[in-house]
Amino acid sequence: MSHTDFQTWSFAIQQQMEIAMGGVLPSAQHLPERLHEAMRYAVLGGGKRVRPLLVFATGELVDAPAERLQYAASAVEMIHAYSLVHDDLPCMDDDVLRRGKPTVHIEFDEATALLAGDALQTAAFEVISARPLCDEPADQLAMIRILATASGAAGMAGGQAIDLASVGKPLSLPELEHMHILKTGALIRASVLLGSYCGRPLLTAERDKLDRFAKLVGLAFQVVDDILDVEADTATLGKTAGKDAANEKPTYVSLLGLKEAKQRAAELEAEALDCLSGFGERAARLRELAHFIVHRAF
């Protein structure tokens, strides 16, 4: 099969995921309609789908069937969407714009937004457990555990708690990186690991290299997010620009400065690519994604 360019490939996956997630989300025509409408509003029609792209890119490395990958990717993206809904609430980051449109609590109301996030989280586990996504049942249990760990106190939720507790406080680089390994990196690592289980078996050492790659890419993703929060405008980002500085949140830019933050992103990309050196052309999409994450301008 010929290797299509990254833009064509990523657009095709994004379109496929829109259809797949539209199919697994509850219909807005069914009771409770308003809750279902809010869930669909939170997930569909926006976003770069970086996490699903990572699932599919890793799936190419292990020759995984696309149908398996789309369900694993849907579960990850639903967890991501729920986290954004809750992060935007007044009790957290109190934001009014996400993906270029009003946040869920603005479009609907706070109670509906809270319930939509709750429902998306549980729906993700329904999706990942409802059908065979790998050859061995024990591996599918491992996938469910990976997603649960990445979502909870040892992952994304724990990182958000540290973030909220760190407002106005200086953090060292190790402290900042630990926070983002949990808050942003855990779900990115889960995306790669879930994709790795959907196809042919990997050696433990191979999966460890993929996990290391994902950890580094997750950190790079956050470094670039912090840079864009300074350099890009609200219209480009699709969310409120400059909010981290306004809220006195610790960022890579506030800690390192803009020039050194960009250098840190480049270092993380190089380390991540080094983890893929033994996989050859099978890891081409993962390399392209690492480049996209570090060099994206929006």
pLDDT in tens, 188-233: 999 999 999 999 999 999 999 999 999 999 999 999 999 998 887 7
pLDDT in tens, 153-188: 999 999 999 999 998 888 999 999 999 999 999 999
Residue 273: pLDDT above 50?
yes
Question: For residues 209 and 220, what is the distance between their CA atoms, to the nearest angstrom?
Answer: 17
Residue 239: pLDDT above 90?
no
Cis bond leading into 132, ω under 30°?
A: no
Residue 245: pLDDT above 70?
no
Q: Report pLDDT for 297.
A: 64
Residue 1: pLDDT above 50?
no
| CA distances (Å), origin 111, targets 49, 106, 146, 170, 221 | 26, 11, 29, 33, 31
Mean pLDDT of 119-124: 98
Q: How confident is the model at residue 238 (pLDDT cuts 50, 70, 90)?
A: low
pLDDT in tens, 42-88: 999 988 999 999 999 999 999 999 999 999 999 999 999 999 999 99
Domain boundaries, the chain: 6-295
Q: Report pLDDT for 219.
A: 96
Average of per-residue pLDDT values in the chain: 94
Q: How confident is the model at residue 237 (pLDDT cuts 50, 70, 90)?
A: low
Question: 284, 259 in Cβ contact below 8 A?
Answer: no
Residue 256: pLDDT above 90?
yes
Other beta carbons within 10 angstroms of residue 89's beta carbon come to 17
Q: Report pLDDT for 47.
A: 86
Q: In sequence order, which residues have a C-beta less than 8 Å from that of residue 1 and are 6 or more positions away? A: none
Residue 240: pLDDT above 60?
yes
Q: What percent of the chain has pLDDT over 90?
A: 87
Residue 294: pLDDT above 90?
yes
Tokens 């999409």 belong to 285
Fold designation for 6-295: Farnesyl Diphosphate Synthase (1.10.600)
Q: Report pLDDT for 233.
A: 76
